[in-house]
Copies of this chain bind each other. A is one copy, B any other.
């Protein structure tokens, strides 16, 4: 048989063919009006997705680079900060903070456990003098989406800034920066932005820029004031990743022409289809606050979780993700993120049925697909 591969993991996600093709165009020189035009268009379209009046800066880095930029541009050694750690990426905020000698108060949640604005409010009261709260919109390690809106309500009433890692969540689930009072928002190219990895995005509101002025952490490559100055000249301080920006232009146009709300709605439908499918198989969702980005599913009793992922990938070419760290082998994750359509979800469920059967799990073939079809049909537009 001809082996086809299906990217069904939470990043890198499938890149639309015309976005791939854009990288075959000759690389524009980055100090020309032609490139400046592309650059400004992408910068503007990023503001549309971030739903902000603030500038969005384009870095040549992974998402982690933009997370680091959020830290070094606002804080000073010894600053007290709160990090909400509900998984790999929440944990990373703490690791970055400690690497930069911040006084990190880490709220360690069980993976998949929700955390409310009220809880955050209580933590802020218990810890006076906190300079920043670090949160994650979509924690891909556990398939959770947190209530960032409530964090904004709470944090905006204090002198602390709210910093949000929206790497996998942005453009998949709502996260309007200005309306939700987010002070620093971070994302990158390879998730719902439907572009290969290599670009990261960061936006700072006024409150965060004020903290820039007193921030004493050292910075150079990620020094956002340099990016701010250069944006006025329609460029960046260092050689930009031109071809990736040319690609990002194309995928942002796709998002804009569909309309951001419709893109969010698409992700909701895909997620509901997957959830309906896996529930029909008698499987259980892992997260108590599941989101529309990636669905984490508990590996059923008696099934080897690592083998499940291997068979899905190696035999059926369906690149889902396994569990990480404490949950390696205990959960698996199906993404419905970015350029994934209804029949990609059907593919995932069908491959999952065949895999589970093969591993000795009793199921009625087709049942998950049937349940997913219901959701898709009801919502098809």
Contacts and interface: CB of A to CB of B under 8 A. Distances in A.
Contacts of A63: 238-239
Interface residues of A, number: 53
A240 interface: yes
Contact of A218 (B7, B24, B30, B99): B99
A12 interface: yes
A23 B218 contact: no
A6 to B, nearest CB: 10
Contacts of A26: 5, 7, 14-15, 20
Contacts of A241: 62, 196-198, 241, 244
B240 A62 contact: yes
A64 interface: yes
B65 A32 contact: no
A24 B27 contact: no
A100 interface: yes
B196 A243 contact: yes
A20 B23 CA distance: 6
A85 to B, nearest CB: 16
A60 interface: yes
B319 A242 contact: no
A223 interface: yes
A230 interface: no
B24 A239 contact: no
**Copy number in this complex?**
2
Given A60-B60, A62-B239, A95-B220, A20 B25 contact: yes
A343 interface: no
A283 interface: no
Contact of A197 (B5, B240, B319): B240
Contacts of A237: 64
Contacts of A27: 7, 12, 14-15, 20, 190, 196-197
A100 B220 contact: yes
Contacts of A319: 29, 32
Contacts of A197: 27, 30, 60, 239-243
Contacts of A95: 220
A24 B20 contact: yes
A367 to B, nearest CB: 28
A21 interface: yes
A9 B29 contact: yes
B96 A12 contact: no
A222 B222 CA distance: 11
Interface of A: 5, 7, 9, 11-12, 14-15, 20-21, 23-27, 29-30, 32, 60-65, 67-68, 95-96, 99-101, 188, 190, 196-199, 217-223, 237-244, 313, 319
- Which 10 A-B pairs rank lowest in CB-CB distance, beginning with the nearest? A198-B241, A23-B23, A62-B238, A196-B243, A99-B220, A64-B238, A68-B221, A20-B24, A197-B239, A65-B221
Given A15-B27, A29-B319, A60-B198, 12 more contacts: A15-B243, A21-B24, A61-B65, A62-B241, A64-B237, A95-B220, A99-B219, A196-B243, A197-B240, A197-B241, A198-B199, A198-B241
